[in-house]
């Protein structure tokens, strides 16, 4: 690959599912050419304005937000935000003079990529989900390249622009080889009983947490060990509930910083179906029960989960059915070694381990043209 330093603008955010892939892409470009200049553009007040500087990159903010689906006062300011963001985007591009502009989805990527295409600067978008968001759908007609994580995306995007790269993930999160002994010691687990890892996302998931609470006795009676990431809002409730099972190895966290060790320790994972979470789970290759969030725009998580279910790579439980069937589903998987192997083997087939590097290569191809 050409090691020439480049000037790169990356835009998007709003959630970790957009922000962390963007940072992973930036780091991949830096690995190729450490002297590259990278500028992020995000939405003021959103998490990228904090997370991107923490990762060591500069970021500029746009006054932009989404259009509310119902009639609200916020919608009246939306046209002004769009105009403001388009004007500011043109100024940022004119001053920075990027070689390539990349969008990862989210509010801020719309105005910046729109202006970049008007100025005939090479552009690339990265779509994390199996069902794209509205911003990327609109941009797809104008950009040069579209990097995706799933097959069949020609239903939404021009086929000649699509490259299947997978979703960029944080390598430190999925590097689990040879770590099981360290992981079980880290969480105070024994080697003789199965371990269930529960992750509802960094903010937690109330239905998942409630279903785990209802099944604590069943888990105890069955000899299951538990690593439970609750999110901040449910943490104190969970701590109170596990005290009734003090003799059991139940580890409760509001947030797990060492996800590599959590993944390494687990025999079975219960997870929401965010695009980046699924990409991590494919690389980790453990049996998974997926519980799509019903509160996500355009029901992205159900569509992401179905991409696994259709290849027998995961078991899906609907959020509305979780309280009734989670316990039995967990027991069935834990007791069935052949099912665990089948799920593990199938989900590994869907892994894209070098997605960020593949996207960096596509960025360089746009410059070489």
Which tens digit of pLDDT belongs to each residue from 46-78?
888 888 999 999 999 887 765 545 555 566 566
The band of 17, judged by pLDDT with boundaries at 50, 70 and 90, is confident
N residues, the chain: 369
Neighbour count for residue 279 (Cβ, 10 Å)? 25
Q: Which ranges of the chain does DSSP label H, i.e. alpha helix? A: 16-32, 48-54, 74-96, 109-118, 134-139, 171-174, 180-186, 206-214, 216-222, 235-242, 259-265, 275-284, 300-309, 322-334, 337-348, 355-368
pLDDT at residue 215 in the model? 96
- Using pLDDT thresholds of 50, 70 and 90, give the confidence band for residue 15: confident
| Residues 6+ positions from 89 with CB-CB distance below 8 Å | 41, 62, 111, 112, 114, 115, 116
The pLDDT, as a whole number, for residue 12 is 84
List 225's β-bridge partners, or say none: 195
Residue 307 pLDDT greater than 70, yes or no: yes
**Per-residue pLDDT at 97 exceeds 70:** yes
pLDDT band at 171 (very low <50, low <70, confident <90, very high): confident
Q: How far apart are the first and last CA of the chain?
A: 14
* pLDDT at residue 202, as a whole number: 55
Contacts for 267 with CB less than 8 Å, ≥ 6 apart: 194, 195, 196, 286, 287, 334, 340
Looking at per-residue confidence, does 317 or 204 come out higher? 317
pLDDT of residue 69: 52
C-alpha distances (whole Å) from 117 to each of 35, 60, 177 are: 25, 19, 43
| pLDDT value, residue 115 | 96
Average the pLDDT over each of 81-90, 100-109, 177-186, 311-320 and give the range with the smallest value. 81-90
Work out the pLDDT band at 2, boundaries 50, 70, 90: low
Between CA 304 and CA 272 the distance in angstroms is: 10
* Mean of pLDDT over the chain: 90
């Amino acid at each position: 690959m050409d090691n020439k330093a480049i000037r790169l603008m990356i835009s998007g955010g709003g959630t970790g599912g957009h922000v962390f892939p963007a940072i992973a892409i930036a780091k991949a470009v830096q690995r190729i050419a450490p002297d590259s200049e990278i500028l992020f553009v995000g939405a003021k007040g959103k998490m990228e304005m904090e997370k991107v500087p923490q990762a060591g990159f500069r970021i500029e903010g746009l006054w932009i937000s989404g259009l509310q689906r119902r009639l609200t006062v916020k919608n009246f300011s939306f046209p002004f935000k769009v105009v403001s963001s388009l004007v500011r985007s043109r100024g940022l591009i004119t001053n920075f003079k990027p070689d390539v502009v990349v969008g990862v989805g989210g509010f801020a990527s719309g105005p910046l990529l729109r202006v970049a295409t008007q100025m005939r600067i090479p552009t690339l978008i990265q779509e994390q989900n199996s069902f794209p968001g509205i911003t990327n759908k609109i941009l797809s007609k104008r950009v040069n390249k579209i990097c995706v994580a799933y097959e069949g995306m020609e239903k939404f995007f021009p086929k000649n622009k699509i490259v299947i790269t997978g979703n960029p993930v944080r390598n430190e999160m999925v590097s689990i080889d040879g770590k099981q002994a360290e992981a079980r010691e880290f969480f105070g687990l024994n080697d003789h009983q199965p371990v269930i890892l529960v992750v509802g996302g960094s903010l937690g998931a109330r239905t998942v947490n409630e279903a785990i609470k209802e099944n604590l006795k069943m888990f105890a009676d069955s000899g299951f060990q538990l690593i439970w990431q609750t999110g901040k809002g449910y943490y104190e409730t969970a701590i109170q509930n596990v005290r009734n099972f003090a003799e059991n190895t139940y580890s409760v966290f509001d947030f797990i910083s060492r996800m590599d060790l959590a993944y390494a320790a687990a025999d079975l994972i219960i997870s929401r179906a965010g695009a980046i979470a699924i990409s991590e789970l494919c690389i980790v290759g453990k049996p998974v029960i997926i519980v799509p969030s019903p509160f996500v725009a355009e029901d992205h998580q159900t569509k992401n989960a179905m991409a696994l279910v259709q290849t027998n790579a995961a078991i899906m439980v609907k959020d509305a059915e979780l309280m009734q069937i989670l316990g039995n589903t967990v027991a069935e998987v834990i007791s069935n070694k052949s099912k665990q192997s089948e799920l593990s083997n199938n989900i590994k087939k869907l892994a894209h381990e070098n997605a960020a590097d593949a996207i960096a290569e596509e960025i360089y191809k746009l410059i070489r043209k």
